[in-house]
């Protein structure tokens, strides 16, 4: 039986960076979500996300193909039910890097899920990291920082909170939580 682990946290907390490090361990894979957000310059369809149109997303929803979904900063995001099913039937550890509304849906459907909330060392760091990442327009960064405030209030719904200050320490902490060797 496979395991599911949710990693949430405000934009810029370092979720993608940490998940990329975790994928180096054997038996770990990451769910590729479906989104209506346009791809960033460094993102490839089918690798970072499955990028779809709004009608395509709505059709997937209607057909019951998504295990959870949410609207975040003006775009839809969702997890393919088929990915979860395949992963649970294997003995893989599947990472869902998803926001809080979707995370709550998964926690309810799959109570065995391990949940981790990644935090920045402080709120200034978030803005700085998003600027450094250089993938979002100023207006989008502002919206993400506003959303971060609301997301932080969901921290206690997660089993673990990890502050991502030093990346190496963070990855090691999460690795230990997940029992990866």
Does position 68 interact with ligand 5GP (CB under 6 A)? The reply is yes
Does position 36 interact with ligand 5GP (CB under 6 A)? The reply is no
Q: Which listed option, ligand 5GP, ligand ADP, none, makes contact with residue 12 (CB within 5 to 8 Å by class)?
A: ligand ADP
Candidate ranges 56-64, 95-103, 115-123, 170-178; the one touching ligand 5GP (CB under 6 A): 95-103
Tokens linked to 142 = 């502002």
- Which residue's beta carbon is nearest to the bound ligand 5GP? 102
Strand partners, 29: 94
Stated length of the chain: 181
Residue 98 phi, psi dihedral angles, 5° rounding: -135, 160
Candidate ranges 25-33, 47-55, 99-107, 129-137; the one touching ligand ADP (CB under 6 A): 129-137
* Residue from the set 3, 22, 72, 174 that interacts with ligand 5GP by CB under 6 A: 72
Does position 147 interact with ligand ADP (CB under 6 A)? The reply is no
163 contacts: CB under 8 Å, gap ≥ 6: 119, 120, 121, 170
Number of residues that bind ligand 5GP (CB under 6 A): 15
Does position 120 interact with ligand ADP (CB under 6 A)? The reply is no
Candidate ranges 53-61, 82-90, 96-104, 118-126; the one touching ligand 5GP (CB under 6 A): 96-104
* Residue from the set 13, 22, 116, 152 that interacts with ligand ADP by CB under 6 A: 13
Least distance from ligand ADP to the Cβ atom of residue 144, Å: 8
Tokens linked to 80 = 């393919």
33 contacts: CB under 8 Å, gap ≥ 6: 49, 50, 77, 78, 79, 80, 97, 98
Sheet containing 114-119: give its strands across.
28-30, 93-97, 3-8, 114-119, 160-163
Alpha carbon 156 to chain centroid distance? 17
Least distance from ligand 5GP to the Cβ atom of residue 150, Å: 12
């Amino acid at each position: 039986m496979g395991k599911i682990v949710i990693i949430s946290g405000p934009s810029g907390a370092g979720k993608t960076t940490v998940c990329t490090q975790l994928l180096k361990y054997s038996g770990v894979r990451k769910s590729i979500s479906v989104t209506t957000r346009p791809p960033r310059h460094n993102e490839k369809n089918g690798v970072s996300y499955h990028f779809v149109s709004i009608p395509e997303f709505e059709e997937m929803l209607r057909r019951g193909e998504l295990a959870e979904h949410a609207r975040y900063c003006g775009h839809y995001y969702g997890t393919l039910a088929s990915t979860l099913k395949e992963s649970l039937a294997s003995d893989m550890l599947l990472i869902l890097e998803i926001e809080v509304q979707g995370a709550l849906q998964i926690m309810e459907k799959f109570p065995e899920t391990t949940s981790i909330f990644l935090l920045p060392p402080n709120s200034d760091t978030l803005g700085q990291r998003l600027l450094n990442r250089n993938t979002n327009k100023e207006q989008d960064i502002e919206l993400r920082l506003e959303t971060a405030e609301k997301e932080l209030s969901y921290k206690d719904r997660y089993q673990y909170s990890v502050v991502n200050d030093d990346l190496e320490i963070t990855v090691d902490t999460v690795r230990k939580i997940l029992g990866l060797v």
